[in-house]
Amino acid sequence: MSIRLGYQIPTFSNTASVRELFPTVIAQARAAEAAGFDAAFVMDHFYQLPLLGAPDEPMLEAYSALSALATTTERIQLSALVTGNTYRNPALLAKTVSTLDVVSGGRAVLGIGAGWFELEHQQYGFEFGTFTERFERLDEALQIITPMLRGERPTFSGKWYHTENAINEPRLRDDLPILLGGGGEKKTFRLAAEFADHLNIICNASELPAKVDALHQRCAEANRDPATLDTSFLAFVIVDTDGDRARKLQTDILARNGIDLSTLTDAERRASVADRQFAGTPDEVAEQIQTRVLDHGIQGVIVNMVANGHEPGTLDLAGQALKPLVAR
């Protein structure tokens, strides 16, 4: 099943104690499933991200959390958005995501990217390297992971990784989807055209027309029909039946990051993180997603609802508003 509507769980800071933490994660995944979302995602990070909180705020290890969610959900696909390639040996990652697929009854998606959060690398002892080196590593990793997910036994000797007749059993299927995440028009889009089933584009919404053009160019260079590569956009959604409350939540989030929304010009807004946000009533958010994202040829959305996604009923509102827009 393809991903037209996904939900990313962005924070684990909404409980008073660690003991209460994972039950709230389970509740969100189940609510997303009930609301008709196609996939639930967690972030593959060890620290909370700069725009979302302080580094020492709670952050679960992605694949442990996903395997646990597999036992508490029935239909929804499960993935990291996205796995940092630098954090795991690629053959081990193929084994890990295949195990998640077995545990979940065929609902795993391999979301993967080059890795970018330098502080985690520095403090955990992972080699960060240069931008170019991280994409060299991702390219090599995909040359190992892809055949392993398809039942082959690759022998590979590269600059960064080596395998010898690498076996990956058990597997439920030979078509476990590969999702690449990022906004790089040259490197990420090239790898997506070569290896991926799905590309989640991470950028400001006003950049989408140029991103779609660049993706079509990379597909042409790879001799691939772009219609065979699903696309989605990572949208930061704040939805409430009270549109004013939703906009107040948006204003508060931006203010915590030093942005005064009321003073931004249109050009400044398009250049800021506010251009990735969609706030208002369900109908208002649906209209914004349609005109700012889907009308540019993007097929789906993955929503991050950091402000109030954990509140009961919010995922229902989002699902009811957005599911009709992306239904085939």
Q: Which residue positions in the chain have pLDDT lower than 70?
A: 1, 328
Strands (E), the chain: 5-9, 39-42, 77-80, 83-84, 110-113, 156-157, 162-163, 178-182, 198-201, 230-239, 277-280, 300-304
List beta partners, residue 76: none
d(CA 97, CA 175): 12
CA-CA-CA-CA torsion sign (146, 152, 153, 157)? negative
d(CA 313, CA 239): 11
Nearest residue to 78 (alpha-carbon basis) of 45, 131, 33, 19: 33
> What does the pLDDT look like over 142-183, one tens digit per residue?
999 999 999 999 999 999 999 999 999 999 999 999 999 999
Architecture field, domain 5-326: Alpha-Beta Barrel (3.20)
Name the pTM for this structure: 0.95
DSSP codes joined into one string, 265-296: -HHHHHHSGGGGEEEESHHHHHHHHHHHTGGG
Q: Is 315 left (phi over 0), alpha (psi -120 to 50) or beta?
A: alpha
User: Which residue type sits at 273?
Assistant: V
